[in-house]
Amino acid sequence: MIEEQNTGPVAVITGASSGIGAATARALAAHGYRLALLARRVDRLEQLAAELGPTAVAIAADVTDRSALVAAADRVHRKFDGADLLVNNAGVMLLGPFSSAQRDEARRMVEVNLLGAMTATEVFLDQLRDGGGDLVNISSVAGRTARAGNAAYAATKWGMNGWSEALRQELQPDIRVTLIEPGAVATELTDHITDLAAKQGAERLYAQLAITADDVAEVIAFAVTRPRRMTVNEILLRPTSQPG
Ligand code: NDP
């Protein structure tokens, strides 16, 4: 039995517990979407779900754990009868020089940012296909540029860009594919950097020019609410004063 009988489209957002994911949940709710909020910090998700009302559900899911994503897809199916939109947003940016000391963090970025998105997508694919859906992949300016100190992070985002372009050709017209490439956005992303010099450098840049998570969320909501005859395939957005 379907638990939720409202009629708005259903969005699944990974990494919905903070930053761009949480802002996107609010922006999509304002457009009438029902929401499945996924992340590891379930207390944060429950707070957000309570704010958004009964058409939002909090689901604890680590994107590196396929069985947790399969359980989440089952929960979405039971509650909403399926998903219309998947936003692959969960990510970590553990900047620092490429070295053996960083190997665990490099691996974690690949597992969360790239493999996590791939796993969530294959798990929700049938639900998205059923009736025509949308896939939004949150990449980065770092999916088009690269610099010393962000090698592994950039690799995950370049990977996401290539993967998204192949999916665009493979999945459209059934599932529209949209790639979002933000520049610096004020969120918790830099909090987790362990390399001190990299952390201070990122924090200095972000303090000068970062845009807000709401700025990005509005762009995502715009892209997915276009008529189905068209697809916004790629958007690069940066703070106006961000050089690269
Ligand atoms: P935040 O740190 O605020 O959000 C990251 C989100 O990812 C959190 O909700 C976190 O939830 C979730 N997450 C991390 N690891 C996992 C995991 N293993 N399983 C499930 N969820 C996970 O940063 P942002 O909002 O900035 O980041 C969102 C996305 O935007 C990322 O992909 C990032 O690369 C991208 N981006 C950000 C930019 C920026 O400047 N902020 C610029 C360009 C792209 P929890 O810890 O509860 O699991």
Q: Quick one: pLDDT band at residue 139, thresholds 50, 70, 90?
A: very high
The tens digit of pLDDT for each residue in 67-79 reads: 999 999 999 999 9
**Mean pLDDT within 9-38:** 98
Which residues sit with their C-beta closer than 6 Å to ligand 1?
14-15, 17-21, 39-41, 62-64, 89-93, 112-113, 138, 140, 182, 184-185, 187-189, 213
From the list 82, 84, 56, 80, the residue with the least C-alpha distance to 2 is: 80
153 annotated active-site: yes
**141 pLDDT exceeds 70?**
yes
Q: Please name which of 89, 78, 72, 75 lies closest in space to residue 28, comparing C-alpha atoms.
A: 89
Average pLDDT, stretch 130-146? Answer: 97
Ligand 1 atom with least separation from CA of 22: 9
pLDDT reported for residue 157: 98
One-letter identity of residue 128:
L
199 CB burial (10 A radius; 0-12, 13-18, 19+): middle
Question: Ligand 1 centre from 59 Cα, in Å?
Answer: 16
What's the full length of the chain, in residues? 244
What's the token pair of residue 244? Answer: 């690269």
CA of 74 to the centre of ligand 1 (A): 23
pLDDT confidence band for 7 (50 / 70 / 90):
confident
Q: Is the pLDDT of residue 2 over 80?
A: no
Nearest CA to ligand 1 atom 10: 15
What is the reported pLDDT for 131?
86
Question: CA 108, CA 116: separation in Å to the nearest integer?
Answer: 10
Average pLDDT over residues 209-221: 98
Choose among 122, 141, 113: nearest CA to 15: 113
Which of 86 and 1 is assigned the larger pLDDT?
86
* pLDDT of amino acid 3: 79
What percent of the chain is modeled with pLDDT above 90?
96
pLDDT in tens, 95-120: 999 999 999 999 999 999 999 999 99
- Ligand 1, atom nearest to 157 Cα: 34
User: What's the CATH architecture for 10-235?
Assistant: 3-Layer(aba) Sandwich (3.40)
How far apart are alpha carbons 57 and 70 in whole angstroms? 16
Nearest-CA neighbor of 185 among 63, 21, 14, 49? 21
Q: Region 166-183: what's the mean pLDDT?
A: 98
Domains of the chain by residue range: 10-235
Instruction: Read off the DSSP letter of residue 82.
Output: S
Give the active site residue among 153, 158, 159, 164: 153
Q: Which atom of ligand 1 is nearest to the CA of 192?
A: 2
Give the DSSP H/E element, type plus range, for residue 212: strand 211-212
Ligand 1 centroid, distance to 78 Cα (angstroms): 27
In percent, the amount of the chain with pLDDT more than 70 equals 100
Under 8 Å between Cβ of 179 and 235: yes
- Looking at the CA of residue 183, tell me the nearest atom of ligand 1: 42
Centroid of ligand 1 to alpha carbon of 99 (angstroms): 23
Output the pTM of the full model.
0.98
